[in-house]
């Protein structure tokens, strides 16, 4: 519910150039224009030929929207036993949108467990299934068919109830704006347009860690996130801007697989703690989509793909992977000095070019350290003090299909021979490199007066190089641009956070930052 309409315009009504409509044609051609005369309550002809008072309709928003609501119900079961625990939960969400004829339903089922079947071995597993169905998701921006946009831009002198039920007896849209057919009747947009989505998502994860008696540990983890999406969009028959209507359906799939392994050990030498780790990871993402569309329904009001003419189909498929190895070394001296160093090497499939020896491996080093000086010097006013500094490098590859030519088979043919076309819109670049970002950071963290006052200060300097950017080219090349490693960006600045406990009591605390 919209609670505040302080700045809503209730002074001028429908029309242009300070003139109210005097004929049905004038009213229909200025359907969304509120540049008319001052509202005076006199009778004027409106879009449907009916004479109504030229006065403010202050309840248009309340009359179109409804009170929304969300209802969530959850049931969870836990079972503990020797060597583990299992949890099963189920939840249901029903959402009634404030936009009429729109809403969302979601069901969520989760099964998880932690087990230690033998000494030193811990296993975690989790499976999560989510089913989400949305009815008539509202369109966005000023696009045709957006009920919100057209309800908001309706002149204040036009009662939104006069646009009901949104269509004429023959099924065509009841248009109130012949000057702009894309200004869809909000009732027609809400009840006759179709924008339905469905997503089935499955998330799963598994991890196992075995710790030997000498402190050495082995850890393996695997996770998968996958979902299937379906989408149906219908521009109904009789729509003002598209009388024949149209139909689009899309089915897409996505999966993201992550696998990693880690071996490490923590041990102490006198006052030093040392923790080396070596690991490797593998990530693969796949996505594909098939879109079917059709224009011009052959039979009025039957919204199926088979009932359309001018059918079209398009498909998309993408597959990429990253392979990595990494190592870390953590050093600590008592509780005073800490030093961490790491190195990581990635191999990106999106930088590979068949037949060319690309340098696919990129190495990223990093080092960070901290000094807890309050362990050595701690006056009465100081509760905690630490200095920290770090340097890190990270990298990122490009999206697929940038290093070589790719082709697409078309639905047309000549003499039963298929036709194809180049997919790339940009000139392929087989020499692309991964972009890099290096950052230096120095900071301090201090707490005073038994943690009643704290200060966190950071200075940072980040530089990104070899950013992969599109560069426009002459269309006479057959392409709209080229993709090059030419971008460079620098960010630097300071961040400061001061926090304090203003009041602290047995039943009341007040902290401000």
Number of domains within the chain: 2
pLDDT at 15: 92
Contact indicator for 204, 127 with CB cutoff of 8 Å: yes
Residues 448 and 500 occupy one common structural domain: yes
> Does residue 225 have a pLDDT over 60?
yes
Question: pTM of this prediction?
Answer: 0.81
Bigger pLDDT: 487 vs 110: 110
Backbone angles phi, psi at 221, to 5 degrees: -135, 145
Cα–Cα distances (Å) from 424 to 215, 249, 427, 482, 483, in that order, read 53, 25, 7, 10, 11
> Does residue 431 have a pLDDT over 90?
no
State the CATH number of the domain containing residue 464: 2.40.170.20
pLDDT at 4: 64
Residue 27 lies in a domain: no
Residue 177 lies in a domain: yes
pLDDT at 31: 86
Contact indicator for 112, 125 with CB cutoff of 8 Å: yes
Averaged pLDDT score across all residues of the chain: 91
pLDDT at 1: 52
Question: Mind listing the pLDDT tens digit for each residue in 156-197?
Answer: 999 999 999 999 999 999 999 988 899 999 999 999 999 999
> Does residue 77 have a pLDDT over 80?
yes
Structural domain range at position 465: 334-513
Per cent of the chain over pLDDT 70 is: 97
Residues 208 and 339 occupy one common structural domain: no
Bigger pLDDT: 5 vs 373: 373
pLDDT at 387: 95
pLDDT at 356: 66
Contact indicator for 92, 106 with CB cutoff of 8 Å: yes
Contact indicator for 490, 483 with CB cutoff of 8 Å: no
> Does residue 413 have a pLDDT over 90?
no
Helix, strand, coil abundance in the chain, percent, nearest 5:
10, 60, 35
Residue 259 lies in a domain: yes
Residues 289 and 355 occupy one common structural domain: no
Residues 298 and 361 occupy one common structural domain: no
pLDDT at 252: 97
Please state whether 301 falls in left (phi above 0), alpha (psi between -120 and 50) or beta.
left
Query: What letter does residue 270 receive in the DSSP assignment?
Result: T
> Does residue 435 have a pLDDT over 90?
no
pLDDT at 245: 95
Residues 254 and 342 occupy one common structural domain: no
Residue 50 lies in a domain: no
Residues 348 and 292 occupy one common structural domain: no
Which spans in 347-451 are helix H? none
> Does residue 205 have a pLDDT over 80?
yes
Contact indicator for 282, 323 with CB cutoff of 8 Å: yes
pLDDT at 211: 93
201 CB-near residues (< 8 Å, 6+ apart): 128, 129, 130, 131, 132, 225, 226, 227
Give CA–CA dist 49/47, Å, rounded: 6
Contact indicator for 410, 384 with CB cutoff of 8 Å: no
Give CA–CA dist 52/157, Å, rounded: 9
Q: Which range, of 18-27, 137-146, 324-333, averages the lowest pLDDT?
A: 137-146
Give CA–CA dist 415/412, Å, rounded: 10
Residues 304 and 338 occupy one common structural domain: no
437 CB-near residues (< 8 Å, 6+ apart): 393, 394, 395, 396, 462, 463, 464, 465
Backbone angles phi, psi at 86, to 5 degrees: -125, 140
Residue 161 lies in a domain: no
Q: Which range, of 35-49, 275-289, 372-386, averages the lowest pLDDT?
A: 372-386
Question: Mind listing the pLDDT tens digit for each residue in 272-314?
Answer: 999 999 999 999 999 999 999 999 999 999 999 999 988 888 8
Count of helices and strands (H, E) across the chain = 4, 22
pLDDT at 415: 87
Identify the residue whose tokens are 């041990």. Answer: 267
Query: What letter does residue 153 receive in the DSSP assignment?
Result: T
Residue 313 lies in a domain: no
Residue 262 lies in a domain: yes
Task: Report the pLDDT averaged over residues 7-22.
Answer: 90
Residues 293 and 374 occupy one common structural domain: no
Give CA–CA dist 369/155, Å, rounded: 63
Residues 302 and 339 occupy one common structural domain: no
pLDDT at 401: 83
Task: Report the pLDDT averaged over residues 494-513.
Answer: 87
Question: Mind listing the pLDDT tens digit for each residue in 471-502?
Answer: 898 888 888 888 888 889 999 999 999 999 88
Strands 84-96 and 103-115 turn out to be: antiparallel
Residue 151 lies in a domain: no
Residues 342 and 389 occupy one common structural domain: yes
Residues 256 and 362 occupy one common structural domain: no
Residues 301 and 342 occupy one common structural domain: no
Task: Report the pLDDT averaged over residues 423-443.
Answer: 87
What is the torsion angle, in degrees rounded to the nearest 10, for the CA atoms of residue 463, residue 466, residue 468 and residue 473?
120
Question: Mind listing the pLDDT tens digit for each residue in 229-243?
Answer: 999 999 999 999 999
């Amino acid at each position: 519910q919209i609670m505040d309409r302080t700045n809503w315009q209730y002074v001028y009504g429908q029309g242009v150039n300070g003139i109210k409509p005097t004929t049905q044609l004038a009213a229909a051609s200025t359907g969304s224009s509120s540049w008319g005369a001052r509202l005076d309550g006199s009778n004027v002809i409106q879009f449907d030929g009916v004479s109504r008072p030229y006065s403010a309709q202050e309840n248009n928003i309340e009359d179109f929207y409804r009170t929304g609501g969300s209802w969530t119900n959850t049931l969870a079961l836990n079972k503990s036993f020797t060597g583990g625990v299992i949890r099963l939960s189920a939840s249901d969400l029903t959402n009634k949108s404030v936009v009429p004829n729109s809403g969302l339903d979601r069901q969520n089922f989760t099964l998880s467990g932690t087990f230690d079947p033998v000494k030193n071995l811990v296993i975690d597993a989790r499976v999560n299934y989510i089913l989400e169905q949305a009815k008539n998701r509202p369109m966005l921006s000023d696009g045709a068919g957006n009920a919100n946009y057209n309800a908001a831009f309706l002149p204040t002198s036009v009662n939104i109830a006069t646009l009901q039920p949104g269509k004429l007896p023959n099924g065509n849209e009841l248009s109130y704006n012949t000057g702009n057919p894309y200004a869809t009747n909000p009732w027609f947009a809400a009840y006759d347009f179709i924008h339905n989505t469905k997503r089935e998502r499955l998330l799963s994860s598994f991890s196992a860690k075995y710790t030997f008696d000498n402190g050495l540990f082995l850890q393996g983890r695997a996770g998968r996130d996958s979902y299937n999406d379906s989408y149906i969009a219908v521009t109904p028959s009789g729509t003002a801007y598209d009388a024949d209507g149209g139909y689009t359906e899309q089915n897409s799939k996505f999966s993201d697989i992550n696998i990693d392994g880690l071996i490490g050990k923590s041990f102490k030498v006198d006052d030093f703690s040392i923790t080396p780790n070596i690991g490797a990871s593998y990530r693969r993402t796949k996505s594909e989509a098939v879109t079917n569309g059709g224009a011009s329904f052959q039979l009025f009001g039957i919204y199926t793909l088979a009932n359309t003419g001018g059918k079209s189909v398009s498909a998309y498929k993408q597959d990429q992977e990253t392979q990595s190895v990494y190592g870390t070394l953590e050093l600590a001296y008592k509780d005073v000095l800490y030093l961490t160093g790491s190195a990581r090497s990635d191999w990106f499939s999106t930088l590979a070019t068949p037949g060319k020896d690309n340098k696919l491996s990129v190495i990223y080093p990093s080092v960070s350290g901290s000094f807890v000086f309050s362990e050595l010097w701690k006056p009465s006013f100081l509760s905690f003090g630490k200095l920290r500094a770090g340097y890190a490098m990270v990298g990122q590859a490009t999206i697929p299909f940038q290093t070589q030519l790719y082709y697409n088979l078309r639905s047309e043919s000549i003499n039963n021979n298929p036709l194809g076309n180049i997919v790339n819109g940009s000139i392929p670049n087989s020499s692309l490199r991964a972009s890099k970002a290096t950052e230096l950071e120095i900071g301090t963290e201090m707490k005073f007066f038994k943690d009643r006052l704290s200060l966190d200060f950071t200075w940072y300097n980040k530089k990104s190089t070899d950013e992969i950017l599109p560069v426009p080219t002459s269309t006479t090349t057959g392409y709209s641009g080229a993709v090059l490693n030419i971008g460079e960006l620098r960010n630097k600045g300071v961040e400061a956070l001061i926090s304090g406990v203003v009041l602290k009591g047995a039943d009341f605390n007040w902290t401000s930052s």
